[in-house]
Amino acid sequence: MRQIQILSTIGSEIISVSDCKNYIRIDTSEDDTLLGFMITSARLQAESYLSRDIVSKQRKYFLDNSYDGKIDVPYGPISSIDSVTIGGVAETGYTTYGLGDLMVEIDPTDKAVEITFTTEGMNDGLLKQVLLQMVSTLYDNRTDYVNGTISTELDSSYKRILDGYKSVWI
């Protein structure tokens, strides 16, 4: 069994309430708190879809047993491996490979492995644009239905834009 846990969120959102207000053309401050929640929601949805961290985090990855020695660390890009423990004992004889999406190589074992690592997060114009679109959609469609019309699913065209960043983790 594999499990992953967020130990702490280190980074901050890559778009601000002010960015959203400019994008959506909101002139008042009445919805600032709501926009803050929507920014976080949009980012979490994007991170979940991508299996990557947009905002830097420290995570712990747990693998119960029986590994051939090569472990793909999920939720890159990884900035550092903070610790590796095997059967509850700190391991120092491991090697890392890769650029951003790291692989940790250890001696094969039948004991539980825990890897604590820090992601560096992602921040570029395309991601900011997608998050602004997502927040705008959330703001304009605060429910998934309109009285008197047929319910339709909210537009998710942002997924096509995010596909280039997608990391498949199983």
Amino acid found at 24:
I
pLDDT of residue 51: 87
Reduced to 3 states (helix: H, G, I; strand: E, B; else coil), residue 126 is helix
pLDDT of residue 133: 92
CA distance 38 to 111: 41
pTM of the model: 0.81
- In the predicted model, residues of the chain with pLDDT beneath 50 are none
User: What does the DSSP 8-state code read for residue 145?
Assistant: -
In the chain, what are the domain boundaries?
A: 1-143+151-170
CA distance 85 to 89: 5
Q: pLDDT of 7-27, one tens digit each?
A: 999 989 999 999 999 999 999
Residue that is written with structure tokens 């207000």 in the block? 21
